[in-house]
Each structure stands twice: as C-alpha cells, then as structure tokens.
C-alpha cells in the first residue's frame, strides 16, 4: 500500500520529471513497451498512468495513424506536461483513475502501463479494470522496476539521503517505485484480477546515462515525490540534500558523464 504523498506529482515535479527523469530511466523502456504493443497490430490502445507521455510518444511513432491511442493519468499536472511536449500524431489525453476506468467493456485491443502499477492502491482491482476494458484476446502490457539494488542511481541516492537524514531516512524510492518487484507476487495479482492465460514476465536490464552526477540527483530528489519527503523533513534543505546526493553519485560513478544499471520486469498477459 502506498502513502498519499507517494502519488502527488504536482508543482514543479512534472517539469523536472520530464526534463531529467524521462531521459535518465524511462525512455529505453518506453521504446521496449511500444515495440511490444506494435507487434500486436492493435486498432485501439489505452495507456493508463501515462505520466508526461514518454510511452504515448513512442506509440505515436511506432503505430500507424489508423491506430487510436488514448493516454490517461490521474494527475492533471502530468497530463499538462505531456500535452505541452506533444506527439508525432494526435493522441487523446484524458484524466482517468486506473481504479475506475471511464471506458466500456472490451473497448481496447491493448492496455499498456509504464511504471505506474506500483502506485495503484489496490493492484488487483486496477488489473481487473484493465481486463474489463480489453476485448477477448487483447493484451495487458506493463512494467515495474526490479529491486532497488539492481537500479544503481536510485540505490545510491536513497543511501545518501539515509546519511543526510539519519533520524528519519526518506524511503520513497525503495518503498514505492522499487517496492513491487517480486515476480511471484506480480503473477498472483494478475491471476487474482481474473486473467487466466499465461503471465509472461521478462526481466530487462538497461543502462542509465547522464551528462553529470547532478542529473540523477535532481531527477530523483526534485522530480519525484521523494521531494515531498525531503521537504517534510526540512524544506529549507532541499537544494543541500540534492547536492549531497549528487556528490554520492559522483563518488560512485565519477564526476563526468555517469552510467549506471537499471532493471525492470515487463509483464504481458492476454484476456
């Protein structure tokens, strides 16, 4: 179960998320998901928890213009950022809660979700909603981060902040983005949502690169709800905490361009 603060993407977070976090960790997995969706030659695709639109942009590039793409998110600020960036062709942006999708039964050929399922308050219920709006034979395609130890920048930032706030370490990254990684649990939740076909889970490693160590630090410390955790401890120390995390990344990966491992599970199941 996630805390309410873990789901707040507001203020400057959407802009920093798009500017720093998307190229750092989301872009390679967006291309991967879009390719898996495109291989199914769908007519209608629904994206849930679309964030600032990195997957929608990849889908708009990889899918033919005849394929309808509906991209949804719960947070208005994220949708506004997505619409500002734009897509190669029209995408319908719509605010929607993955727990109660405003669509008819069997309306889509594919439901796709990139790194959003970790934030769902009741995953089986959200997965059941995805199943409901799929046509028979349609596919639910989503990914979720593997454990934080296999995602090096996130791990270093989390460890550094534990030193910076030793009395009350901020644990958002370990708790939520990297808190839903057990493959057996994922399969049980998908099955519990009513999916009866095989649950295919691929573990996909990639590389995360940035021009400087400061980029991962600001991406995580100011472009995610980790910012709210830091500010709850001492709002005046946000910049100092970010610099402290950047120094930790530089000590581990160097002061110039940095390169770290990222790893996620990609799940595909048919209705």
SS3 content of the chain, % helix, strand, coil (to 5): 50, 20, 30
Output the pLDDT for position 133: 98
Number of separate domains in the chain: 1
CA distance between the termini of the chain: 26
More confident residue, 92 or 10: 92
pLDDT of 13 reads: 80
Cα separation, 129 vs 137, in Å, equals 15
- Does pLDDT of 2 surpass 60? no
Nearest alpha-carbon partner for 51 in 72, 20, 21: 72
| 263 close to 140: Cβ distance less than 8 angstroms | no
Q: How many CB atoms lie within 10 A of CB 88?
A: 14
Q: What is the CATH number of the domain that holds 143?
A: 3.40.50.150
Domain residues for the domain of 101 are 4-270
**Average pLDDT of the residues in 1-17:** 63
Distance CA 268, CA 32 (A): 12
């Amino acid at each position: 179960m996630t805390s309410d603060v873990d789901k707040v993407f507001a203020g400057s977070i959407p802009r920093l998320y798009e500017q720093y976090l998307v190229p750092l960790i989301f872009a390679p997995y967006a291309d991967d998901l879009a390719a898996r969706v495109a291989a199914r030659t769908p007519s209608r695709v629904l994206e849930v928890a679309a964030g600032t639109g990195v997957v929608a942009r990849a889908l708009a590039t990889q899918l033919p213009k005849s394929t309808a793409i509906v991209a949804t998110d719960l947070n208005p600020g994220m949708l506004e950022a997505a619409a500002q960036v734009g897509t190669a062709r029209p995408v319908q942006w719509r605010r929607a809660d993955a727990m109660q999708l405003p669509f008819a039964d069997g309306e889509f050929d594919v439901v796709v979700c990139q790194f959003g399922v970790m934030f769902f308050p009741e995953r089986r219920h959200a997965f059941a909603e995805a199943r409901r709006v799929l046509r028979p034979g349609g596919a639910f395609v989503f990914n979720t981060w593997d454990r934080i130890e296999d995602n090096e920048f996130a791990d270093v930032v989390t460890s550094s902040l534990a030193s910076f706030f030793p009395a009350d370490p901020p644990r958002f990254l370990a708790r939520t983005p990297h808190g839903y990684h057990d493959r057996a649990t994922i399969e049980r939740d998908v099955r519990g949502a009513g999916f009866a076909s095989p649950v295919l889970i691929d573990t996909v490693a990639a590389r995360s690169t940035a021009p400087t160590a400061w980029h991962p630090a600001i991406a995580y410390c100011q472009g995610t709800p980790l910012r709210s955790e830091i500010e709850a401890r001492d709002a005046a120390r946000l910049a100092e905490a970010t610099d402290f995390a950047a120094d930790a990344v530089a000590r581990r990966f160097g002061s110039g361009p940095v390169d770290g491992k990222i790893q996620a599970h990609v799940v595909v199941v048919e209705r």
